[in-house]
């Protein structure tokens, strides 16, 4: 019993948990990164069926090949102004445990490798709702890349205060 505990202990440290491949996306003015393992697919021009009476940040349902997927308007969840009506949002279909949801974002960027040691805690300077959905940051030459806390981003209810 004690042997296994010792063996598994290092794996549970925060460094080991960090993935090194990220998919980036933008939610103006922020740039986010999400563990690429969690991303199932990226969709554009998806028919969205709104669900009356749902919370405003739950945009509706999309039909993903016969599967119902809940679309979450990440802009609204973050407390950002809504996207321009004429701009089709990009759906980032993600899996959090057993639940598949679609995060509506401005634009999906590159997939990039980021060394775990560059991962830093969210700086105090970053305030506002974006902070609530970030589990940390990567400092890049061209700015801050926020690591999305998927569990919070796809949570049943908005955790943003």
- Which residues contact other proteins by CB under 8 A? 47, 49-55, 58, 61-63, 66, 68-70, 72, 99, 101, 156
When the beta carbons of 33 and 62 are compared against other proteins, the nearer one is 62
CB of 60 to other proteins, least distance (A): 8
Sheet (strand 107-113) strand order:
107-113, 21-27, 30-35, 143-148, 134-140, 119-120
**Helix/strand number for the chain, H first, E second:** 5, 11
CB of 19 to other proteins, least distance (A): 25
CB of 50 to other proteins, least distance (A): 7
When the beta carbons of 88 and 99 are compared against other proteins, the nearer one is 99
Q: What is the spatial distance between Cα 82 and Cα 74, in angstroms, rounded to a whole number?
A: 9
Burial group, residue 127, by CB count within 10 angstroms (0-12, 13-18, 19+): exposed
Q: What is the spatial distance between Cα 63 and Cα 43, in angstroms, rounded to a whole number?
A: 11
When the beta carbons of 100 and 112 are compared against other proteins, the nearer one is 100
CB of 55 to other proteins, least distance (A): 8
Q: What is the spatial distance between Cα 134 and Cα 145, in angstroms, rounded to a whole number?
A: 10
When the beta carbons of 90 and 101 are compared against other proteins, the nearer one is 101
Instruction: Give the pairing type, strands 39-44 and 90-96.
Output: antiparallel
CB of 150 to other proteins, least distance (A): 14
Quick one: tokens of 8?
């598994």
When the beta carbons of 101 and 135 are compared against other proteins, the nearer one is 101
């Amino acid at each position: 019993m004690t042997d296994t505990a010792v063996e598994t202990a290092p794996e549970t440290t925060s460094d080991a948990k960090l993935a090194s491949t990220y998919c980036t996306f933008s939610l103006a003015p922020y740039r986010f990164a999400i563990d690429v393992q969690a991303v199932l697919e990226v969709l554009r021009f998806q028919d969205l069926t709104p669900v009356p009476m749902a919370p405003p940040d739950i945009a509706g349902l999309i039909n993903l090949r016969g599967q119902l997927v809940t679309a979450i308007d990440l802009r609204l969840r973050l407390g950002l102004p809504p996207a321009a009506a004429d701009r089709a949002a990009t759906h980032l279909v993600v899996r959090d445990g057993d639940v598949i949801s679609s995060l509506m974002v401005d634009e999906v960027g590159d997939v990039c490798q980021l060394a775990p040691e560059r991962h830093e805690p969210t700086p105090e300077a970053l305030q506002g709702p974006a902070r609530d959905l970030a589990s940390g940051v990567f400092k890049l030459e061209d700015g801050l890349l926020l690591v999305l806390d998927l569990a919070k981003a796809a949570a049943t209810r908005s955790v943003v205060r």
